[in-house]
Chains A and B, each alone.
Chain A
């Protein structure tokens, strides 16, 4: 089972920051938080990941709370092309290595 919970859907105005929350209260100390997004019927696209510290790249910023039980993905200036399903994932250690278990994600609608 996915170890994360996310809102089902969110709206954001074009040009504004989109803040997508994620809860992962059962995360273990060595498990990373990942964000991917999937535009309709395409393969998921990697966005960003982190362990403890906040992270930023050319696509987004990831803010992880100090207790690591939740995080927020920030798209600083959302565009219409950012409309997608956003998945927050914790990579879980298993017998065969680390697994990526997807949940239902958050459907982000960016509106003009």
Chain B
């Protein structure tokens, strides 16, 4: 247990569906992150939130919409996805995003399949 939880753990959705991924951290951290890991590819950073403000958007398509209502919760809203968006989506948190000296803690991920 890392103190970062993600729900659901598995999700199958059609290309016309709208769904949301949820992440919650119980560590008192101020920074949260979304990563995507496609099959046989390295983790790709998608979004970074620092004190509930988005500070990084790594050229992610608009069909992915993040939301950070408070420092403990992070959502990824999904709509009109493509089959190539099928991947493991990982959430992470760290004490701060403004210092390089703090490690990140990752959740278990949501395995997303787009049909």
Contacts and interface: CB of A to CB of B under 8 A. Distances in A.
A101 B90 CA distance: 14
A104 interface: yes
Given A34-B103, A97-B56, A98-B98, A103 B42 contact: yes
Interface residues of B, number: 30
Nearest to B97: A97
Interface string B73-115: 0000000000000001010100011111101111111010000
Contacts of A100: 33, 45, 92, 104
Interface residues of A, number: 29
User: Which 5 residue pairs of A and B lie closest in terms of their CB atoms, listed nearest first?
Assistant: A96-B55, A97-B97, A43-B106, A96-B56, A102-B43
Interface of B: 2, 4, 31, 33, 35, 42-45, 48, 50, 55-56, 88, 90, 92, 96-101, 103-109, 111
